[in-house]
Amino acid sequence: MNYYSLNKKAPNTTFADAVVRGLAPDKGLYFPESITPLDPSFFETIEDKSNAEIAFEAIKQFILPEIPEDILKTIVEETLNFDFPVVEINENISTLELFHGPTMAFKDVGARFMARCLGYFNKTNTNHVTVLVATSGDTGGAVANGFLGVKGVDVVILYPSGKVSDIQEKQLTTLGQNITALEVDGVFDDCQDMVKQAFMDKELTDKMQLTSANSINIARWLPQLFYYMFAYKQLKSKHSDIAFSVPSGNFGNICAGMVAQKLGLPIKHFIAANNANDTVVNYMISQTYIPKPSVQTISNAMDVGNPSNFIRIQELHNNDFDALKANLSSYSYTDEETKAALLELYNDYSYVADPHGAVGYLGAKDYLKENDAHVVFMETAHPTKFLDVVEDVIKESVALPSQIEAVMDKEGVSIKINSYNELKGFLLS
């Protein structure tokens, strides 16, 4: 499988090169040259397969033979060594819990998969690769954990000061070894802009190999298609029409779901559930894409004003707005609406959600006002990662899982920066 740049001004390249580069030379996102649907029998018998078997069959066309089949199977098995349970909320709505991994966030899958792929490609490489990543919350911890101790890889994580939860900050600042956290005086978009500027800085890229572990990297983005197949496996015998409501920030998760749909997974519809950062909501109304500065909310991992992966979503729909409109609905919600949803889930269904899952729940409810389906909303992070918000709303204490307890008493270490020049100076040093 080869990959092309969505800016269409760079040569097509291999999976390995796309993973190591992160962005194409023309600064475009990489996209697979083709997506071949799986045989319908795969989905007819999906209940009989393990999660690792499902994932391997779904991902192999994008990677083989650059990673040998036996090694790819091992990568998949090591990536997916935790559960992905579907929990029924009511007869029309379920949630897919994606927080049972080491950092209790959905991004564990992509980060672990990418780290293992890059580790394989780098095992005979004497040159260091620097993974440069911006985080609005959970990406940083997942990437730090996934790449911890990987040979020949240094990880530099930029996060906005005061705009991630205390636990999220602990998860990306307490590991040490090959992980460095840079605390940026600004918002997530400032962090992301610095990362993009670094990739465009020839003086920097001539001296070091940079790659990204945000969902712009295909090895971080594509494995997220597994979630949709795991949910379908659990619900297939109960429901014929299944839609997904996805809390959306940089739109990598929902975009990967659309790849699963292209592979033949029978998904009726997608709902992009947004917080106050409503760039895509407005686009779906006006057909005009106007990025905005990000707005800080209690669902901070979705505080993205210019989602990078939306161009991939457009490509998946052949840049046909009507085709996209038929497949995607988008809604936005305030913090107060999010808190009300948290309370409703707890009082009415005895379910403790996190703020991102609550936004997904609201998207499911809005879609069901005018459509018939069983809607699965993604619960993307464990509620204790947003303990102050959740406990304040439900007025109950939430027990800390072992993954969170392990970092609570550790002292975080970060380097404060205020500008791109400070980032560049650090990288060159």
Q: What is the structure's pLDDT at 166?
A: 82
Give the pair of three-digit tokens for residue 395: 């007025």
Residue 303 lies in a domain: yes
Q: What is the structure's pLDDT at 139?
A: 78
Give the pair of three-digit tokens for residue 240: 């014929």
pTM of the model: 0.91
Q: What is the structure's pLDDT at 138?
A: 72
At 351 the three-state DSSP class reads coil
Residue 47 lies in a domain: no
Q: What is the structure's pLDDT at 145?
A: 86
Pairwise CA distance, residues 329 & 324, whole Å: 9
- φ/ψ of residue 182, rounded to 5: -110, 120
Whether 331 and 254 have beta carbons less than 8 Å apart is answered as no
Amino acid occupying residue 273? A
Q: What is the structure's pLDDT at 33?
A: 98
Whether 114 and 224 have beta carbons less than 8 Å apart is answered as no
Q: Which residue has the tokens 């085709």?
A: 323
Residue 1 lies in a domain: no
Residue 263 lies in a domain: yes
Residue 288 lies in a domain: yes
User: Which of 107, 196, 339, 385 is the catalytic position?
Assistant: 107
Pairwise CA distance, residues 249 & 353, whole Å: 18
Provide the residue range defining the domain that includes 226. 84-106+220-399
DSSP state for residue 411 in the 8-state scheme = P
Residue 129 lies in a domain: no
CATH number at residue 303: 3.40.50.1100
Residue 45 lies in a domain: no
Burial-class residue 101 by CB neighbours within 10 Å (0-12, 13-18, 19+). Answer: buried
Q: What is the structure's pLDDT at 88?
A: 98
Angle made by CA atoms 107, 111, 114, in degrees to the nearest 5: 145
Residue 347 lies in a domain: yes
Angle made by CA atoms 412, 414, 419, in degrees to the nearest 5: 155
The total domain count for the chain is: 1
Q: Which segments in the chain show pLDDT lower than 70? A: 126
What are the CA-CA distances from residue 88 to residues 94, 277, 281, 283, 373 (Å)? 4, 28, 27, 32, 14
Pairwise CA distance, residues 6 & 378, whole Å: 28
Give yes or no: 292 in active site.
no
Whether 168 and 385 have beta carbons less than 8 Å apart is answered as yes
Pairwise CA distance, residues 343 & 352, whole Å: 9
